[in-house]
Structure 1
Amino acid sequence: MKHTRWVYTPKEINVKRGVAYGLTDLMGGGWNNIVSGVIFAYLTLSVGLNPAMAGAITGIARVFDAIFCLIFGTITDGFYKTNLGKKYGRRHFWMFIGLIGFAISFLAFWVPATSIFGPGHDFIYYLVVYTLTELFVGMILIPWETLPTEMTTDYTKRTVLSGSRMFISATGTSLVFFILAILQSLPSAEAKKNAYLFAGILWTVLFVVAIYISYRSTWERPLTKEFIAELDARPKLTVGQYIKETLHDYGQTFRNLAFSKHLTIYIFSFTGKDFYATLLPTFIVVCMGMASNIPWVLNAFAVFGILSTLAAAKLMITHGPRFLYSLSYIGIIIALIAYGIVYFMHVKNPLTILIIITILYQLSRGILEFTPWNVFPFIPDVDRIMTRGDKAGTYAAVMTFFRKSTGALATWIAGILLEELGYVSTAATQAPGTTDKIALLFVIAPLVLIVIALVVSWTFKLNRQTHAVLQGEINRLEDGGDKRDVTPEAKQVAEELTGHPYDELWPDETYEEVQAEKSKE
């Protein structure tokens, strides 16, 4: 078979190519904000489910999806052994399958369950359809997230790809809320009633087109004779061996100190963002007593996240991720405290002040979302010097697993806490003191998580300079260099990033050779 298909043909990486790659995150960023910011409000304020049941739908589905993602990452890593993988690409094949499934299930989610099955089936319907949608989203995002590592080893070019991705993600976030805000602001009663359905149709068309462009504009590591030989040397495992090795591989990622810190920062900051997005509509409508379209109007200011993302792309190169983390998290902390002050000071006509606070939050959120996934493409390089393996898919799967697990728990816990605090979604007014408790939850829950992420980020050492040193050492060793000739700087950087003595790095046997020996035991 001649591997001359576009999926194996490298092309020039420029801003245009970066935008084409990043278009998938129009769905990625938009979907995550729909999950954390829209679905809970839709299920409680529109469908009428109680908050605990609404939280359970996203919680249960994401637990199943998180388990699926753990298995799926390794499947994509090894899928090039199959004829389908060789022909269509180990990553791109699954992106296309996921795209088709997503187009169907995501649209179905916004169709009222009562119009299909009648009353009494809301919970099961939304749980099943939402779970399927999550699985298809994972099928798209996990292979797509590995593509910068597949497409280039250059830090600046990867930054072009990842930076463009996060710019598009911020655009997706803004479009999601902007579309819903417009539809809910229309004077027609029929339009308001079907606002979520109309928004779902527009979102589906927008996301599907974006993903397909990204799918056709990217490529994978070419299947050279050397690469095929490397892949063929990997052992074929039984189902039991496969599960055992998969769990072992995922556990081994935590031996990577840079990844452990990166994951901690990522999970705590994004979970804090989830709490904010989940609780904001309830805070604005129930606590502040404002109209139902105001949360989406405020969230539409996510467009400011695009501006901060543009700035972050440059600051990532000049100042590094640690600076961006501090800038983002401190801004969010200030915004959260300001929300609490506006509520507890009983500010009259607070919309203008809330807009200013929200703009600060959205500027900071844009950087929060930009930075971790801009760092991620360099994490597998730290593993490379530890294991001599190619496990980008494994790392992407672990990140996705924990992101979806904690995201699920955030929404679920938020729903349970709201019910425990006495919130009744169908009630015209809440019991005395309930709104104060909801406001405190809205401020304190994300605040604590963001503070933890901030503190850990101060110890993070992977940046452009340290990666260049690490990559130089990897290149030297791959060219047959002797470990005894390592420079003091390379030794120090390798040890700081991996968390292991240099003597334990770059083992005599490659990751594939170790796996082959284990399969013979």
Structure 2
Amino acid sequence: MSRRYPLSRLASYGGLGLPLAALGLPLTVFLPPFYAQMPGLNTGIVGVLIFAARLFDVITDPVIGTLSDRTPARFGRRRPYIVLGTPILMLAAWFLFVPGAHAGALYLLIWSMAAYLGWTLIYLPYTTMGAELSTDYDERTRVTAWREGFFVLGTMVAIVLPAAVGKLAGGPAAGLAAIAVFLLLALPIAVGLFLWRAPEPDAAASNVAWAESARLLAANKPFRRLVVAYLLNGAANGLPAALFLFFVQSVLGASQATAGIFLAIYFLSAVAGLPVWFWIGRHWSKHRLWCASMAFVAAMFIFTITLSDNTYSIIVYTLICIFGGSCLGVDQAIAASIQADVVDEDTAAGGDGRAGLYFGLWGMATKLAFAVALGIAYPILWLAGFNAGGPSDATALWTLAALYGLLPVAIKIGVIVLIWDFPLDRDRHAVLQRSIGRIRR
């Protein structure tokens, strides 16, 4: 389990992240503003509908995680759920991204819920497997870094493809349809390669009693702290993601094509920044590296509240995308690697491979945070008089800037305070692995 995996296996594992990410960004960034401008809908209604769909999504995470933990391992504990989720996600993505002329509130709610269900059936077992591929403190980071690298590539597809198709075909609707077509082609291929080449470690189904499971969860102090940090960090990341297009178009006065350029710069910086951050923190414990990256991005992002509709602001925002984006990869990869280490606390205390439950609870916290962020931000914008399809007054624009730039920075600072003295460092992890080794002998 502490082996160092060859690049071909890591690529087969990480490659599944590419089509998932190509769908994830549009679901978060492009789709809500698109539906907010449709007849009969507005930012307030769309915010409430997405919030409701996300609440359903939140509930499914611990359920699917627990089910995968307790699934007999004849065909793998995680793989059957990935296979099940693939056609569900493909069907939902098509209807969600290619809506008819009469698509309304109920249509958005139903297909959003279906898309989130398909996504969770794939993504949760997929990331859980990443935690189980190795027990080594640093190899886990290598595995998650490959996955997050493919996620960044998929995000680039989600930026470039709809922008290019939308420009050629005349609008955002064509761009969203292109994403749906890409997913229909790429997801089955990525899943096939994953099932063929990505190893799933041998593990028996969990049989910990429910009462004992609850006791172990309650006793896991690193888990409790990390899940709160995930809840807060998810809100800090979700706010600017959900409000990005509104901010770029209404505050900076830029076009949707320029917004695509900003996103491309941001995610290319994430690719370039990942090895740099890993080199900086090569001798640090993971939580300190995570804190450093959050502090750096907060220092960059605070300048967004000073921007307006002028050339100077475009230049400053480009620099924010470069330097702030450089932290994205390490923020995602390091946090996921810490998740895997926290599961070891449970295993050493008497658990038996319940990574699915833990990843389900972390996913639940992250999605709940985003649902709350979106469900609050969109109605607040509507109450402030923000117009998604036209001009807005100074109060509405100030509200948008505060929700986009000021509030996420404040939340990030709170996460840093919470995680700075996190008890599960490199030395503690070595102690846990020795204890687990004695249990399994």
TM-score scaled to structure 1, two decimals?
0.78
Contact 2:304-2:405 at 8 Å conserved across structures: yes
Structure 1 residue 50 displacement after superposition: 0.7
Q: Distance in 1 between matches of 2:84 and 2:291?
A: 39
Residue 76 (1) aligns with residue 97 (2): no
Q: Distance in 2 between matches of 1:251 and 1:407?
A: 28
Contact 1:73-1:394 at 8 Å conserved across structures: yes
Contact 1:176-1:203 at 8 Å conserved across structures: no
Contact 1:380-1:391 at 8 Å conserved across structures: yes
Q: Distance in 2 between matches of 1:11 and 1:337?
A: 42
Partner residue in 2 for 1:516: none
Q: Distance in 2 between matches of 1:418 and 1:212?
A: 43
Which residue type is aligned with residue 283 of structure 1? Answer: F
Partner residue in 1 for 2:134: 152
Contact 2:12-2:197 at 8 Å conserved across structures: yes
Which residue type is aligned with residue 105 of structure 1? Answer: A
Partner residue in 2 for 1:320: 285
* Structure 2 CA distance for partners of 1:425 and 1:390, relative to 1, 3 Å: same
Which of 227, 236, 242 is the equivalent residue of 1:263? 227
* Structure 2 CA distance for partners of 1:298 and 1:192, relative to 1, 3 Å: same
* Secondary structure of 2:352 counterpart: coil
Q: Distance in 1 between matches of 2:178 and 2:31?
A: 14
Q: Distance in 2 between matches of 1:251 and 1:106?
A: 39
Which residue type is aligned with residue 340 of structure 1? Answer: I
Which of 282, 294, 310 is the equivalent residue of 2:258? 294
Structure 1 residue 193 displacement after superposition: 4.9
Q: Distance in 2 between matches of 1:48 and 1:338?
A: 36
Partner residue in 1 for 2:189: 209
Contact 1:261-1:456 at 8 Å conserved across structures: yes
Residue 139 (1) aligns with residue 126 (2): no
Residue 310 (1) aligns with residue 275 (2): yes
Partner residue in 1 for 2:419: 457
Residue 60 (1) aligns with residue 52 (2): yes
Measured on the aligned residues, the alpha-carbon RMSD in Å equals 2.7
Q: Distance in 1 between matches of 2:433 and 2:55?
A: 36
Partner residue in 2 for 1:44: 36
Q: Distance in 2 between matches of 1:258 and 1:317?
A: 22
| CA deviations over 1:45-78 (Å, ceiling 9, x no partner) | 4677311121123211111121122212111111
Contact 1:113-1:126 at 8 Å conserved across structures: no
* Structure 2 CA distance for partners of 1:342 and 1:431, relative to 1, 3 Å: closer
Contact 2:96-2:112 at 8 Å conserved across structures: yes
Which of 233, 236, 242 is the equivalent residue of 1:278? 242
Structure 1 residue 14 displacement after superposition: 1.9
Residue 107 (1) aligns with residue 69 (2): no
Residue 473 (1) aligns with residue 438 (2): no
Partner residue in 1 for 2:363: 400
Structure 1 residue 149 displacement after superposition: 4.1
Q: Distance in 1 between matches of 2:355 and 2:432?
A: 17
Percent identity between matched residues is 19
Q: Distance in 2 between matches of 1:63 and 1:391?
A: 23
Structure 1 residue 410 displacement after superposition: 1.3
Which residue type is aligned with residue 195 of structure 2? Answer: Y
| CA deviations over 1:321-350 (Å, ceiling 9, x no partner) | 22322332122212222111223xx64453
Structure whose CA Rg is larger: 1
Q: Distance in 2 between matches of 1:296 and 1:250?
A: 45
Q: Distance in 2 between matches of 1:335 and 1:156?
A: 28
Flag structure 1 segments of 5+ consecutive residues without an equivalent.
1-8, 236-241, 480-521
* Secondary structure of 2:386 counterpart: coil
* Structure 2 CA distance for partners of 1:309 and 1:45, relative to 1, 3 Å: farther
Structure 1 residue 408 displacement after superposition: 1.3
Partner residue in 1 for 2:217: 253
Which residue type is aligned with residue 329 of structure 1? Answer: M
Contact 2:134-2:140 at 8 Å conserved across structures: yes
Partner residue in 1 for 2:387: 424
Contact 2:161-2:175 at 8 Å conserved across structures: no
Q: Distance in 2 between matches of 1:41 and 1:219?
A: 39
Structure 1 residue 189 displacement after superposition: 5.4
* Structure 2 CA distance for partners of 1:313 and 1:354, relative to 1, 3 Å: same
Residue 24 (1) aligns with residue 16 (2): yes
Structure 1 residue 298 displacement after superposition: 0.8
Structure 1 residue 312 displacement after superposition: 3.9
Structure 1 residue 423 displacement after superposition: 1.0
* Structure 2 CA distance for partners of 1:369 and 1:30, relative to 1, 3 Å: farther
Residue 338 (1) aligns with residue 325 (2): no
* Structure 2 CA distance for partners of 1:123 and 1:448, relative to 1, 3 Å: same
Which of 155, 170, 173 is the equivalent residue of 2:152? 170
Partner residue in 2 for 1:222: 202
Contact 2:234-2:367 at 8 Å conserved across structures: no
Which residue type is aligned with residue 463 of structure 1? Answer: D
Structure 1 residue 194 displacement after superposition: 1.7
* Structure 2 CA distance for partners of 1:10 and 1:336, relative to 1, 3 Å: closer
Flag structure 2 segments of 5+ consecutive residues without an equivalent.
none
Q: Distance in 1 between matches of 2:39 and 2:274?
A: 35
| CA deviations over 1:444-474 (Å, ceiling 9, x no partner) | 2211211111111211132333212221233
Q: Distance in 1 between matches of 2:12 and 2:135?
A: 19
Q: Distance in 1 between matches of 2:154 and 2:176?
A: 17
* Structure 2 CA distance for partners of 1:462 and 1:16, relative to 1, 3 Å: farther
Partner residue in 2 for 1:410: 373
Q: Distance in 1 between matches of 2:161 and 2:185?
A: 13
Partner residue in 2 for 1:448: 410
Q: Distance in 2 between matches of 1:352 and 1:97?
A: 46
Contact 1:275-1:410 at 8 Å conserved across structures: yes
Q: Distance in 2 between matches of 1:453 and 1:31?
A: 28
Q: Distance in 2 between matches of 1:250 and 1:39?
A: 38
* Secondary structure of 1:379 counterpart: helix
* Structure 2 CA distance for partners of 1:340 and 1:437, relative to 1, 3 Å: same
Structure 1 residue 317 displacement after superposition: 4.5
Q: Distance in 2 between matches of 1:73 and 1:189?
A: 41
